[in-house]
Structure 1
Amino acid sequence: MAVSLPNGATVSIASTYATLKNMTAITNAAQAVATLEASHGVAVSDILEVSSGWSKLNNRIVRASAVATNDVTFEGINTTSTSRYPAGSGTGSVRKITAWTQITQVLDSSTSGGEQQFTSYSFLEDDTERQIPTVKSAQSITFNVADDSTRPHYTVLVTADEDRIPRAIRVVLPTGAVLYYNAYVTFNKTPTLTKNEVMANQVTLSLVADPTRY
């Protein structure tokens, strides 16, 4: 059992991607192995955005743990369940993230969503209801960032807000663990104006896939 504080964590946004590479096959395995087109340029430890016919894998951010010619292992991505990952239907593409820009001066953060939803039912002979789980609500993360238009992250956030294309987000924790998200980015360029409080811009990340933790 362990507890930890987020003090010292850093948050970065993907600012540059390589060209998209086709993923022509992917295995059902404890660690999925994807076959990419020739000259894919992926090396061990590269971070990839995955587009896949498997909805549980689609839009995930993954790390390459091994590369053998055109076969790339997705670290920690378990696709053994053929009910969730039907064999032969997971093909798609990957994009390598080639540069990150740190979002500095983060004042605080909060999360919302992710709650399990249920449907209730009862039989004619019942005098109580039962519940079964359905889906989880959409999840988002909000950061309040000190207002400073001269910081490198400012332009990156403005671009992400305007083009409405999901961006990879990396959070490095003080423990050394790394969290990867993929999200639509909303950036409020109007700073807060509260007397005796630091002016801040709000960054909202609307997640499009499950996070990946390494």
Structure 2
Amino acid sequence: MAYFFAEGSRFQFAAAFDAAKPVTAASNANPTQLTSAAHGYANNEELLFTSAWEDATDTIWRAGSVATNTLNLQGLDTSNTNFFPAGSGTGTLQKVTSWVEIPQVLNIQGNGGDTRFTPVEPLAKRNAIQVPTGFNPLTLQLTLGHDASLAAYQQMVGISRTLGKVGFKIIMSGGAVGYGFGYMAVGEMPNITRNQANQVQAAITLLGRFITYQ
């Protein structure tokens, strides 16, 4: 058991990915094993996986047990065929080319991502029940110190203006690393308040899962 704190955390985004490589087979296993001929990836490389498996797609995973034509995705358990139908996991992999530091992050807050429930009221019961039916959309909200001269900030604004998608990476104090993938939206009008640094808001709305590795 351990406790970790926000201080020392770093935040990065990735807008550049290598060309997509086809995944021709995906096993129902823990972790899943993918077949991709002569993929050229190495262990622990960060890969964007797109697939018909809704609980795995649009997510950045780390490669493991890499061989010439196969690899696994660390932490992806696809053994339940109700959620990962056999034969449906084919798709593509793209390696993250580079990460760019998000400048002057003052605060980060996650909104959503909690369990979504649907109420059910059987006539024979006086007590209604809540059935979990999935998860609400997750948005990561960042508060940045506003400095329009920063190249990284201007790149973020450009991505936002074109409705671009990016990888997102948190390097937390204590060594854990988290990944997401989704749309980036960046404000351009700073909040100006007496006795506070000028601030601007940025957000990333995730399309897939947020995955953490230690």
Fold similarity call, TM over 0.5: yes
Q: Please say if 1:98 is aligned against 2:112.
A: no
SS of structure 2 residue aligned to 1:43:
coil
1:179 corresponds to which letter in structure 2? G
User: CA deviation digits over 1:103-148, x for unaligned, max 9?
Assistant: 1211112121123232223333333222212232211111111111
TM-score, normalised relative to structure 2 = 0.93
Structure 2: distance between partners of 1:32 and 1:125:
43
Structure 2: distance between partners of 1:125 and 1:52:
42
Q: 2:16 — aligned with what? A: 16
Q: 1:45 — aligned with what? A: 44
On the 8 A contact 1:101/1:152 being kept in 2, the answer is no
Q: Give the CA deviation at 1:67.
A: 1.6
Q: Please say if 1:141 is aligned against 2:147.
A: no
Structure 2: distance between partners of 1:85 and 1:107:
39
User: CA deviation digits over 1:23-80, x for unaligned, max 9?
Assistant: 1111111111111143x33222210101001011110100112221121221111111
Q: How does 1:7-156 map to 2 (within 5 A)?
A: 7-38=7-38, 40-156=39-155
Q: 1:79 to 1:197 in 2, by over 3 A?
A: same
Q: 1:189 — aligned with what? A: 188
Q: 1:207 — aligned with what? A: 206
User: CA deviation digits over 1:125-179, x for unaligned, max 9?
Assistant: 3332222122322111111111112323213312321232321111011111100
User: CA deviation digits over 1:66-97, x for unaligned, max 9?
Assistant: 22112122111111111111111110101100
Structure 1: distance between partners of 2:152 and 2:19:
22
On the 8 A contact 2:103/2:153 being kept in 1, the answer is no
SS of structure 2 residue aligned to 1:193:
coil
Moved more, 125-134 or 7-16: 125-134
Moved more, 165-174 or 117-126: 117-126
Identity of aligned residues (%): 30
Instruction: Point out where structure 1 has 5 or more consecutive residues left out of the alignment.
Output: none
Root-mean-square deviation (Å) = 1.5
Structure 1: distance between partners of 2:4 and 2:51:
35
On the 8 A contact 1:28/1:79 being kept in 2, the answer is yes
SS of structure 1 residue aligned to 2:15:
strand
Q: 1:83 to 1:172 in 2, by over 3 A?
A: same
On the 8 A contact 2:37/2:70 being kept in 1, the answer is no
On the 8 A contact 1:15/1:156 being kept in 2, the answer is no
Instruction: Point out where structure 2 has 5 or more consecutive residues left out of the alignment.
Output: none
SS of structure 2 residue aligned to 1:157:
helix
Q: 1:41 to 1:164 in 2, by over 3 A?
A: farther
TM-score, normalised relative to structure 1 = 0.93
2:2 corresponds to which letter in structure 1? A
Aligned length: 213
Moved more, 130-139 or 95-104: 130-139
